[in-house]
Amino acid sequence: MARIGPALVRGAAACLLALPLLAPQARAAGPSAAPVPSGAPGSLQVLHWWTSDSERQAINVVVNQLARQDIQWRDISIPGGAGMGAGKVLKSMVLAGRAPEVTQLNGVIFGEWADLGLLLELDNVAVQGNWEKQMFPAVWSLLNNRGHVVAAPLGIHRVNTLFYNVAIFKRYGLTPPRTWEEFDKIVQLLRGTGIVPLAQSAEAWQIATLFENLALAESGPAYYRRLFVDMSPSAYLDARMLHILKRLRSLAGAMAQPVRERPWTEVARSMVNGEAAMFIMGDWAKGEFNAWGLTVDQQFGCAPVPGTGDYHLYSTDTLAMFADNYSHQAMQETLAQITMSAAVQSDYNKIKGSIPVLRAQDPHMDRCARDSWRAFSKGASYQAPSLVHRMATDETTKDAIVAEVQRFFIDRQITEEQTQKRLAAIARTLSRNRND
């Protein structure tokens, strides 16, 4: 698992340690997971970006379980897909000495906060709940920082999902494209029908979603990891990257012009209401379609993104707890226990569109979830950690790549070769392996 470079940690640490209100190195485990005394009033502030209909409904499963333990969930919700805004708010709150008690904090970024001693270690809860045995190894290793469990997992999203409008596909006799050549044929077939082949937003993270999908389709998880986990400059200078960028640019021809910046929920809506035929997005979009009363294989279908059928481009949702002065520890541990209960895993993920983090297959999953579970179960060589959703590398590197890709997509004056060189330069500057 990639970690941020020591220099970056030291820089951030120096900055954080200067703040009087923080308690750095407050990471030594406190007393073990004690149940909250019943009737004890208490609440937890939770920062997150689950603001759409299905996201709200899914998180209410956890909120309600927490309430049964007399713990109130106090919301700090920051709208903005993929947590682009929430990540920044979280950073400012921590720097101001006002870290929330709990945060949706996806991916390797745990390492950044945990290394600074800011996160509560959940080792006792993990041992008592037998987490290591129960969950997928990839998730277990993600939650671990230097031998300590520093977050509680909710579910696993599949980011390489292609959604399609069933009525449109039926009307034109289409089947879900398994390759990009098949995709191109559909685009041609829909020409002149008034239907937009591919729904898309110009938001940086949504363009980068296409980019990471194309990277996976191009040459599988090994090359993908060289790009986004190892940050290998030579991988960026490879002819395959040129091909990925050309493909990304050519996809513009399948989209309504100009491509506008729209929240993912709006883009999702344009696919199910028949304006567009297809939509590439994480399977939280499935949760949203369900919340709108639509059913898989009736109004919308799901398939792997072309060229990625064997693979799983994943993003896990997790909650991390800030240690502060340990006054919330018992409640935080209760929340961690709740997230891993089999019933909560099943109910939450069914609404959210994701799959449980548990190795045992949940019998209540729909077809898309079963496909996702099968692909993820095949193990590490079939899994690719999402760059956009912070599974692959640290926040700074991720933001730099995402911004570069958006610039390339929007400004047609920038050539593929220029972008390739700029991405390689980012990798050279920020990667841990400077000799590559």
Q: Cβ 208 to ligand GAL, closest distance in Å?
A: 12
**Which CB sits closer to ligand GAL, 233 or 287?**
287
What is the SS3 assignment for 151? Answer: coil
Q: Cβ 344 to ligand GAL, closest distance in Å?
A: 15
Among 2, 4, 55, 103, binds ligand GAL (CB under 6 A): 55
Among 49, 131, 136, 140, binds ligand GAL (CB under 6 A): 49
Using alpha carbons, list the distances in angstroms from residue 406 to 97, 196, 273: 33, 21, 27
**Which CB sits closer to ligand GAL, 164 or 284?**
284
**Which CB sits closer to ligand GAL, 86 or 424?**
86
Copy the structure tokens of residue 117: 């001693």
Using alpha carbons, list the distances in angstroms from residue 389 to 229, 386, 398: 13, 5, 9
CB-based contact 159:389 (threshold 8 Å): yes
Q: What residue number has its CB nearest to ligand GAL?
A: 81
**Which CB sits closer to ligand GAL, 77 or 341?**
77
CA proximity to 81, closest of 211, 240, 205 = 205
Cis peptide before 20 (omega within 30 of 0): no
Among 144, 145, 200, 315, binds ligand GAL (CB under 6 A): 315
CB-based contact 26:325 (threshold 8 Å): yes
Angle between helices 53-68 and 284-291 (to 10 degrees): 90
81 binds ligand GAL (CB under 6 A): yes
The residues in 283-302 that bind ligand GAL, with binding defined as CB under 6 A, are 284
- Applying CB under 6 A, the span of 27-35, 48-56, 216-224, 238-246 interacting with ligand GAL comes to 48-56
What x/- string results for residues 378 through 397 when contact with ligand GAL is judged by CB under 6 A?
Answer: -----------x--------
Q: Cβ 267 to ligand GAL, closest distance in Å?
A: 12
Residue reference for tokens 């799959």: 355
203 binds ligand GAL (CB under 6 A): no
**Which CB sits closer to ligand GAL, 209 or 420?**
209
Q: What would you measure as the largest C-alpha separation in the chain, in angstroms?
A: 67
The size of the interface with ligand GAL (CB under 6 A), counted in residues, is 13
DSSP letter (8 states) at residue 253: G
CA proximity to 235, closest of 251, 220, 221, 223 = 223
Paired residues of 102 in beta bridges? 46, 321
Cα–Cα distance measured from residue 201 to residue 366, given in angstroms and rounded to the nearest whole number: 27
Q: Cβ 286 to ligand GAL, closest distance in Å?
A: 11
Copy the structure tokens of residue 168: 């449109």
Among 66, 94, 150, 157, binds ligand GAL (CB under 6 A): 157
CB-based contact 119:151 (threshold 8 Å): yes
Q: Cβ 106 to ligand GAL, closest distance in Å?
A: 6
422 binds ligand GAL (CB under 6 A): no
What x/- string results for residues 83 through 102 when contact with ligand GAL is judged by CB under 6 A?
Answer: x-------------------
Residue 219 CB partners (closer than 8 Å, separation 6+)? 240
Q: Which residues bind ligand GAL (CB under 6 A)?
A: 49-50, 55, 81-83, 106, 157, 282, 284, 315, 317, 389
